[in-house]
Amino acid sequence: MASLSEIRAAIKTTLEDNLPGVSVYAETPPQVNVPAVMVQLVSADYDQAMGRGNDTWPMNLIVLVAKSDEKLAQLKIDPYVDGGGSSSIRKVIFDNKTLGLTNVNAHVATMTGYGGQWDVGGYTYVGAALQLIVHYKPD
């Protein structure tokens, strides 16, 4: 049985193993090295089935790049939020739906905040949020 902490750690490992050069943080850090992805729990839904069914964990994968120039920064975000390609986070999750765990199924559902500004540790970055949906069937 995987705990929430183990699921977040598995997301970190899955992304790091498939996106060389990207810093991935399972929790919100005090500062980041970009390009970066932060895993942020949004909510939990325990009411997916009668009795003790599936738990659903919507999470944001916050993709951050340096804010040198808005247009250039957005071009740096594109490969990570694209639906396919070697740097696509969506494709990495699609190809690794279980995140290396049992009783887990994950997918990227939406993207919001594209090109927005995100403050971490006193620095402003340009980024986007990918909504990752993790379904988990507890034992």
- Encoded tokens for 81: 């939020």
Between 55 and 47, the more confident residue is 55
Between 34 and 102, the more confident residue is 34
The CA distances from residue 90 to 26, 63, 121, 139, in Å, are 17, 12, 27, 28
pLDDT tens track for 2-30: 788 999 999 999 999 999 999 999 998 99
Residue 59: name the closest of 1, 124, 9 by CA: 9
Which of 36-40, 64-68, 88-92 has the least mean pLDDT?
A: 64-68
CA distance 97 to 133: 10
pLDDT of the residue at 83: 93
pLDDT tens track for 74-132: 889 999 999 999 999 999 999 999 999 988 999 999 999 998 999 999 999 999 999 99
Find the mean pLDDT for residues 53-77: 87
pLDDT of the residue at 46: 66
CATH homologous superfamily of 4-136 equals: Phage minor tail protein U (3.30.70.1700)
Contacts for 3 with CB less than 8 Å, ≥ 6 apart: none
pLDDT of the residue at 43: 81
Q: Tell me the average pLDDT of the chain.
A: 90
CA distance 101 to 104: 6
63: number of Cβ within 10 Å: 27
pLDDT of the residue at 52: 61
